[in-house]
């Protein structure tokens, strides 16, 4: 019985192949858009989260400001001058795991490997690499012993290493910074462009122990900023309040004075991006679902037209003994076959669209920075296919019921 039903449905589909093709193309395009757009939305959220975390997965930056007396003018504000011994006080709070000072040395002339490059330089502490997600590809990062002994060692960015030494290993090489001798102990992993950074990208930076930077370049215990890592991202706001309170006791300002010391928490930027990403993903999924719904409406209309065109045929079958159930099953079977075929083509088309997006993304470095890595998800495709089948069956019920309720006498008189 089921074999005859399928054979009859297939004959009717072949007889009206153009109509079926037009209907199926709309369904296929709908499911393709649903698969591709939903995958793009998911990839977009992950892409921007990873790019923003390049500066540090949970880093908080603190910057000194100024204190203005109540009712006083801003030109009489007292500047807050943070010292190198201020950040080590912060881990006394259980909300803060580690803190390090940093000094910005500006662009410095590096000579090494027979080449010269101007690179942005910083004085950092031993924990700065972990806190700011500065990944070392070869060698090591600055150690506590480097800081304690004021060693003349450098951790250089991947671009700096390539400019000075080309393909040769940079670790262990001698480099002069403004004429002063240093030794390279580490080279960063390639990060490429970063969405957020305090200065140039990590690939363009040169890092040295903060004690060495103070001794050779700044000549002062003042720092430009500091950074620390809260215990968890949820502890970020509380840790900022606690850090400001600790610093207020040493620099004589109110603990609630946000102008005295300002903070930037990467989690706040990630949260904003996540909100935008969720809204965008909802929009893309809604677009895909509306396209599927439009395809389902097209299926229903086409099948209603098919019932109208085949009124005499259906009436004859009913006069020869076909039951309501037989006609209902026949029309519904045709709808399901069209839906399944179009759904399979749509999933394949969606996978092809994702492959095209991947090729375009890998075409240039700029495209890799701006575009997400969109991946085909079998689970998502299966979900879309299930939704499509449900929409197709729902769309075919009305025409099938209309065909089943035909009056044979009226149908046979139809011209």
Q: By mean pLDDT, which of 101-110, 250-259, 369-378 is the weakest? A: 369-378
* CB neighbours of residue 351 within 10 Å: 18
Half-sphere exposure at residue 272, Cβ-oriented, CA atoms within 13 angstroms: 5
Instruction: Give the residue ranges of DSSP H helices in 210-254.
Output: 210-213, 236-251
What residues does each domain of the chain span? 2-52+281-413, 69-230
C-beta of residue 44 within 8 angstroms of C-beta of residue 369: no
CB neighbours (10 Å) of residue 132? 24
φ and ψ at residue 25, rounded to 5 degrees: -65, -40
What pLDDT digit, counting tens, does each position of 173-195 carry?
A: 999 999 999 999 999 998 877 77
Residue 1: the pLDDT is 45
Are 408 and 326 contacting, i.e. CB atoms less than 8 angstroms apart? no
Name residue, tokens 């979900």. 383
Whole-model pTM: value is 0.70
- Give residue for tokens 């989690």: 267
Q: Give the total residue count for the chain.
A: 415
Residue 7: other Cβ atoms inside 10 A: 10
Compute the distance between CA of residue 105 and CA of residue 123 in angstroms, rounded to an integer.
Answer: 7
**Residues 31-46, mean pLDDT to the nearest whole number:** 79
Task: Check whether 317 has a pLDDT greater than 70.
Answer: no
Find the range with the poorest average confidence among 88-97, 256-265, 295-304, 377-386. Answer: 295-304
Q: What is the dihedral of CA 228, 233, 237, 240, to 10 degrees?
A: -10
The region of weakest confidence among 176-185, 215-224, 352-361 is: 352-361
Q: Which percentage of the chain shows pLDDT scores above 90?
A: 33
- Stronger pLDDT, 71 or 142, i.e. the higher one: 142
239-248, 285-294, 314-323: segment of lowest average pLDDT = 314-323
Instruction: Answer yes or no: is pLDDT of 294 > 50.
Output: yes
Lowest mean pLDDT among 214-218, 271-275, 288-292, 345-349: 288-292
pLDDT value of residue 99: 92
Mean pLDDT across 254-262 = 88
Q: For residue 287, report the phi and psi dihedrals to the nearest 5 degrees.
A: -60, -45
Task: Read off the tokens for 50.
Answer: 């990873």
Residue 106 confidence (pLDDT) above 50: yes
Query: H helices of 16-76, where?
Result: 17-52
Residue 346: pLDDT above 90?
no
H helix count then E strand count, the chain:
13, 12
Asked if the model's pLDDT at residue 91 lies above 80, the reply is yes
**pLDDT for residue 316 is more than 80:** no
φ/ψ (deg, to 5) at 114:
80, 10
pLDDT of 125 higher than 50: yes
Q: What mean pLDDT, rounded, does the chain reach?
A: 81
What is the mean pLDDT of the segment spanning 71-87?
78
């Amino acid at each position: 019985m089921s074999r005859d039903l399928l054979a009859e449905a297939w004959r009717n589909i072949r007889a009206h192949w153009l109509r079926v093709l037009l209907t199926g193309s709309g369904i296929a395009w709908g499911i393709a858009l649903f698969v591709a757009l939903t995958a793009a939305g998911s990839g977009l959220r992950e892409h921007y989260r990873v790019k923003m975390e390049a500066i540090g997965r949970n880093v908080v930056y603190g910057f000194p400001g100024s204190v203005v007396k109540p009712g006083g003018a801003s030109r009489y504000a007292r500047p807050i001058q943070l010292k190198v011994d201020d950040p080590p006080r912060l881990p006394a709070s259980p909300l803060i795991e580690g803190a390090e000072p940093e000094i910005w040395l500006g662009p410095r002339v590096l000579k090494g490997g027979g080449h010269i490059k101007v690179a942005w330089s910083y004085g950092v502490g031993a924990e700065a690499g972990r806190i700011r997600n500065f990944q070392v590809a070869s060698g090591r990062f600055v150690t506590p012993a480097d800081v304690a002994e004021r060693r003349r060692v450098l951790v250089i960015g991947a671009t700096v290493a390539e400019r000075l030494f080309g393909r040769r290993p940079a670790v262990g090489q001698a480099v002069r910074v403004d004429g002063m001798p240093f030794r390279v102990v580490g080279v960063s992993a390639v990060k490429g462009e970063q969405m957020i950074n305090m200065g140039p990208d990590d690939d363009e930076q040169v890092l040295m122990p903060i004690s060495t930077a103070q001794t050779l370049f700044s000549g002062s215990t003042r720092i430009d900023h500091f950074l620390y890592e809260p215990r968890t991202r949820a502890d970020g706001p509380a840790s900022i309040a606690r850090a400001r309170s600790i610093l207020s006791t040493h620099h004589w300002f109110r603990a609630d004075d946000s102008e005295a010391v300002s903070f930037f928490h990467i989690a706040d930027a990630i949260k904003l991006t996540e909100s935008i990403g969720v809204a965008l993903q909802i929009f893309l999924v809604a677009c895909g679902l509306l396209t599927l719904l439009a395809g389902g409406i097209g299926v229903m209309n086409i099948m209603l037209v098919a019932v109208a065109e085949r009124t005499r045929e259906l009436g004859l079958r009913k006069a020869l003994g076909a039951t309501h159930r037989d006609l209902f099953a026949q029309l519904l079977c045709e709808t399901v076959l069209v839906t399944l075929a179009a759904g399979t083509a749509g999933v394949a088309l969606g996978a092809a669209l994702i492959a095209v997006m991947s090729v375009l993304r890998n075409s240039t470095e700029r495209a890799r920075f701006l575009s997400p890595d969109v991946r085909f998800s079998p689970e998502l495709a299966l979900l879309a296919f299930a939704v499509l089948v449900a929409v197709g069956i729902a769309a075919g019920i009305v025409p099938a019921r209309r065909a089943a309720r035909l009056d044979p006498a009226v149908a046979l008189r139809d011209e």
